[in-house]
Amino acid sequence: MSPSALQRLRQAGATLIELVVSIVIVGIAAGGVLLAFHQTVRHSADPMVLHQAVAIGEAYMEEILLKPVNDPDADGEATRPQFDDVDDYNGLNDVGARDQDNNLIAGLGAYTINVTVGTQALPGIANALRVDVQVTGPNEVDVTLSGYRTDYF
């Protein structure tokens, strides 16, 4: 073989150092891609948890705002199924979402619901109440819904 043919054969491949450097670069790039993928997958349920917290808050709010402002029988009701006016819900603290009969709803035990009812001064409206429903869920989800109930008879 001629010297020029031998020189071409030597330049045809990659050295061990070049291969190691290539593997390190590809490994670092793959690690960055996998880290981004991990973050995306880890937080992919957050919108669903937030939507569920809002739905729970809306359900509680609807139940409360459908009750009258004034107590029909002037008694202080002790349990949620007995609540017959908006004020009865003040201080309600449910660990796990519950239905109107106070039964735990399957799959929603990780949510905590706190209700606050207080008087609110509104111009030209007497006897107005402000209702705040705070729903705390997994992944540090915290939603507060506010509504007003007036005696509009």
Residues 20 and 76 in one domain: no
- Residue whose token pair is 């705002």: 65
Give me the number of domains the chain comprises: 2
- Smallest CA-to-CA distance from 87 within 95, 98, 75, 99 is with 75
Is this structure's pTM higher than 0.75?
A: no
Residue 123: DSSP 8-state:
T
Residues 90 and 115 in one domain: yes
For 75, the token pair is: 């008694």
Q: Do residues 122 and 148 touch, judged by C-beta distance below 8 A?
A: yes
Helical H segments across the chain, by residue range: 3-10, 16-42, 46-65
Residues 19 and 55 in one domain: no
pLDDT digits (tens, 9 = 90+) for 20-58: 999 999 999 999 888 887 777 766 667 888 899 999 999
Domain residues for 34? 3-42
Residues 58 and 37 in one domain: no
How far apart are the C-alpha atoms of 67 and 63, rounded to whole Å?
7
SS3 112: strand
pLDDT digits (tens, 9 = 90+) for 52-106: 999 999 999 999 999 988 877 777 788 888 888 888 999 999 999 999 888 999 9
Residues 8 and 77 in one domain: no
- Smallest CA-to-CA distance from 128 within 69, 58, 63, 60 is with 69
Per-residue pLDDT at 62 = 95
Residue 9, pLDDT above cutoff 60: no
Residues 88 and 113 in one domain: yes
Residues 61 and 118 in one domain: yes
SS3 135: strand
- Smallest CA-to-CA distance from 147 within 135, 128, 130 is with 130
